[in-house]
Structure 1
Amino acid sequence: MKVLLIILAIAVFVFLGVRYFLFRIGDPVNSKVSDSYFYHYRKKLIVHSPMGNWFELGYFESDADVKSFQPINRDFGKDKKNVFWKGRKQAVDYATFQVDASGIIKDKNHVYTMNGKEYNFLGIIEGADTKSYQLLDSSLPDYKRISWFRDANAVFYRGKKTEGDPVTFKPLNDAIAIDANYIYSIIHQRGDGLYAFEVDEVIRKHKRVEGEIKVVNESYVQIGNAVVSAFTKDEFTLHTFETIKSTKVIDYYTIAVNDTLIYKGIAYPEIDIQSFEPLDYGYCKDRKNVYYSGKKITGAVISAFEILSPDYAKDSKNVFYKNSIVEKADPKTFKRTSENDIWDDGTNKFRNGKILDRKLK
């Protein structure tokens, strides 16, 4: 019995010790307003811990004044002198600072974005008019509505000023927007795979064409007898047809217009729609051929076709650079080297699909 009590006492002591030294948060400051601001468990200070999950999401010990601090919402708060975001003091005008119901963050001097250059600190939205800054369209779905704003002079997308007309501008889907005079591409990122990076740009691309507007899906828009998209290397395509009798959505990036398949904005007039299959890096295939950026790869063996990189592929007979055969390259031994953009088959080195030099045997 004594041994059991001793073990129990040790367990309680260890638990209390761990709690004392490791627990970072105590009671919430105001649980009705924020689930992320707390009093420290044992120190006299304010702690920001996302949803109280300090163990997985971490915590930050703020230098806010404990007596006067109150949360504004989940992540914003203020004390008698300063405004805080995620526990960090922000360089804003204290007297006029506000976060409204639509998520607009501003004071008398600036409108702010949470995607500032410095992590966990607000950034200034350049060129935004604080008096007229507002949601572009409150009827947009949630995930879009919070990205689009306007003021008296311009349209803003994710904190960046665009060329759009604030009176007539309208985002149609994930890729295309229009105003009274122009068509715009919405570019979320550039690059592929590991090399992809976010840009979030809205670029004026083409004069507005005549015709009824139909949103085909989140990638394509039909305007009259033209179909437009932004998902290409040129970041905009406009395919004009004599007449559009039908459009069929295959997936996010793929549609069929009449009898022509369009994949990531590229038209494939030769491809068999029923057997079409998208591959990586702009490659695709049907039951007869393999294609790169809309061009047939002549001579490719479909059953043995293997993509090696954004530019190189091979089958049992040949190595291909984009849609051309790499002369004198052995597909059995062809591989990337440690040198930048250099490939090797044991006999020759290659760059951009051409022999770089010949090894001495």
Structure 2
Amino acid sequence: MKVILIVLAIIILIVLGFRYLFFKIGKPVNLDVSNSYFHHYRKNIIVYSPMGNWFELGYFELDADVATFQPLNVDFGKDKNNIFWKGRKQQVDYDTFEVNYFYLIKDKNHVYSRDGRNFNELEIIHDADPKTYQLLDPSITDYRRYYWFKDAHSVYYKNKRINVNPETFRPLNDTIAVDADFIYAILNFRGEGNEMIEVDEVIQKHKMIEGEIHAINETYARIGNSVVSAFTKAEFEINTFDSITLIQEIDYWRIKVNNLLIDKGVIYPEIDAESFESLRYDFSKDKNGVYYNFKKIAGADSSNFEILSDQYSKDNQSVYFEDTILKGSNPEKFKFSSEYGTWEDGENQYKNGQIIASIK
């Protein structure tokens, strides 16, 4: 019994010692406002730790007056002398500083961005007028309302000033915006795959078209008898019809207009839009056949078609690499090999649609 008590005492001392040495976060300053500002566990200081997860997300000790410090929201706080963001003092006008909507940050002199080059320092949005800076459209119902701001002279997208008519400009969806004179592409990225870069640009693409204007979904908009869209590869597409009698949304990337399929802004008249069905990866089908990236896979039987990977597929008669037959392959035995990127059918090994070795 005595040994057990000694062991328990040692365990308790170890736990208390560990907590004393490593646990730095005590009670939150005001949990109703912020879950990231805390009193130190044993020092008379304030600490900043995102969501209190100091072990994974970090920890910073503030040079703040403890008695007067109070959080303003999750990341902002102040004491009697300074404004803090992520626990760091900010060079702002203390008396007039305000933060609203988490994204509208300003004082009498400047409007500020949280997305500057210095991770811990607010960046001035140059030329923005703090007196008139406000949300472009508070009626936008989701997070995107905070992408768009305006002042008396300009419109800003993700804190970047854009060259549009501020009196008539409005975003229609994720990809298209308009003003009285032009149609604009909203581009968040340029390029594809490993070459994709973030740009966050609003680019003038086409003169305004006469007619009714409304969003079809988050990627397409109708303006008169035209359908417009903008994507990362083709930055702007406009398809004009003699008249539009039917528009039907399929998904984020695809719509039907007058029973024509449009995918990422491109019309595919050879596809039967009524029977079109998107499959996995870049495969799809309609009543006339099976397609890879909208190229018909000649000879493929849709009744027993099976997708094997993002490039390989098969039916009872053949194996296909993208939209072409993999000549000489055996669909019954075709399977993924133990070697990365290779396939086999008992007779040959294949990679990138080519025979690379004979197994026999």
Question: Which TM bucket (shorter chain)?
Answer: 0.7 to 0.9
- Rounded Cα–Cα distance in structure 2 between residues aligned with 1:192 and 1:279: 19
User: Given residue 112 of structure 1, which amino acid in structure 2 is its aligned partner?
Assistant: Y
Deviation at 1:295, TM superposition (A): 6.1
Aligned to 2:276: 275
Aligned to 1:82: 82
Aligned pairs for 1:187-202 (under 5 A) are 187-202=187-202
Deviation at 1:260, TM superposition (A): 0.5
User: Given residue 54 of structure 2, which amino acid in structure 1 is its aligned partner?
Assistant: W
- Rounded Cα–Cα distance in structure 1 between residues aligned with 2:103 and 2:301: 54
- Rounded Cα–Cα distance in structure 1 between residues aligned with 2:30 and 2:217: 44
* Range 61-70 or range 39-48, more displaced: 61-70
Deviation at 1:166, TM superposition (A): 1.4
Whether the aligned pair in 2 keeps the contact of 1:266 and 1:294 (CA below 8 Å) is no
Whether the aligned pair in 2 keeps the contact of 1:184 and 1:203 (CA below 8 Å) is yes
- Rounded Cα–Cα distance in structure 2 between residues aligned with 1:186 and 1:82: 38
Deviation at 1:232, TM superposition (A): 5.4
Deviation at 1:53, TM superposition (A): 3.0
User: Given residue 124 of structure 2, which amino acid in structure 1 is its aligned partner?
Assistant: I
- Rounded Cα–Cα distance in structure 2 between residues aligned with 1:205 and 1:292: 30
Whether the aligned pair in 2 keeps the contact of 1:186 and 1:201 (CA below 8 Å) is yes
Pairing 1:244–2:254 present:
no
Alignment CA distance shift 1:317-1:39 (3 Å): closer
Deviation at 1:209, TM superposition (A): 0.6
Aligned to 1:354: none
Alignment CA distance shift 1:319-1:154 (3 Å): same
* Range 151-160 or range 50-59, more displaced: 50-59
Aligned to 1:40: 40
- Rounded Cα–Cα distance in structure 1 between residues aligned with 2:195 and 2:350: 23
Whether the aligned pair in 2 keeps the contact of 1:266 and 1:293 (CA below 8 Å) is no
With structure 2 as the length reference, what TM-score do the two structures score? 0.79
Deviation at 1:344, TM superposition (A): 9.0
User: Given residue 221 of structure 2, which amino acid in structure 1 is its aligned partner?
Assistant: V
RMSD of the TM alignment (CA)? 3.3
- Rounded Cα–Cα distance in structure 2 between residues aligned with 1:287 and 1:62: 66
Deviation at 1:90, TM superposition (A): 2.0
Whether the aligned pair in 2 keeps the contact of 1:213 and 1:221 (CA below 8 Å) is yes
Whether the aligned pair in 1 keeps the contact of 2:190 and 2:232 (CA below 8 Å) is no
The unaligned stretches of length 5 or more in structure 2 are 330-342
Whether the aligned pair in 2 keeps the contact of 1:126 and 1:160 (CA below 8 Å) is no
Secondary structure of the structure 1 residue equivalent to 2:143: helix
User: Given residue 274 of structure 1, which amino acid in structure 2 is its aligned partner?
Assistant: S
- Rounded Cα–Cα distance in structure 2 between residues aligned with 1:68 and 1:191: 50
Aligned to 2:126: 126
The unaligned stretches of length 5 or more in structure 1 are 337-342, 348-361
With structure 1 as the length reference, what TM-score do the two structures score? 0.79
